[in-house]
A and B are shown apart, each in its own frame.
Chain A
Amino acid sequence: QQPVQSPQAVILREGEDAVINCSSSKALYSVHWYRQKHGEAPVFLMILLKGGEQKGHEKISASFNEKKQQSSLYLTASQLSYSGTYFCGTRNAGKSTFGDGTTLTVKP
Chain B
Amino acid sequence: NAGVMQNPRHLVRRRGQEARLRCSPMKGHSHVYWYRQLPEEGLKFMVYLQKENIIDESGMPKERFSAEFPKEGPSILRIQQVVRGDSAAYFCASSPGSDTGELFFGEGSRLTVL
Contact = CB atoms under 8 A, between A and B. Distances in A.
Nearest to B89: A39
* Residue of A2, A94, A101 ringed by the most chain B CB atoms within 10 A: A94
Interface in A58-108: 87, 89, 91, 93-101
Contact of B43 (A43, A44, A87, A91): A87
Contacts of A32: 102-103
Contacts of A100: 41-42
Nearest to A46: B102
A42 interface: yes
A47 interface: yes
Interface residues of A, number: 24
Q: Is the interface of B mostly helix, strand, loop or mixed?
A: loop
B105 A42 contact: yes
A30 B61 CA distance: 27
* Residue of B93, B102, B104 ringed by the most chain A CB atoms within 10 A: B102
A47 B104 CA distance: 13
Interface string B5-47: 0000000000000000000000000010101000001110100
Contacts of B101: 47
B46 to A, nearest CB: 11
Contacts of A94: 31, 48, 55-56, 98-99
B91 A42 contact: yes
A40 B91 CA distance: 10
Interface residues of B, number: 24
A7 to B, nearest CB: 14
Contact of B100 (A30, A41, A42, A87): A30
B21 to A, nearest CB: 14
Given A93-B56, A94-B48, A44 B104 contact: yes
22 contacts: A29-B99, A30-B99, A30-B100, A41-B91, A42-B105, A44-B102, A47-B100, A47-B101, A89-B103, A91-B99, A93-B56, A94-B31, A94-B48, A95-B45, A95-B48, A96-B45, A97-B45, A98-B43, A98-B45, A99-B42, A100-B42, A101-B42
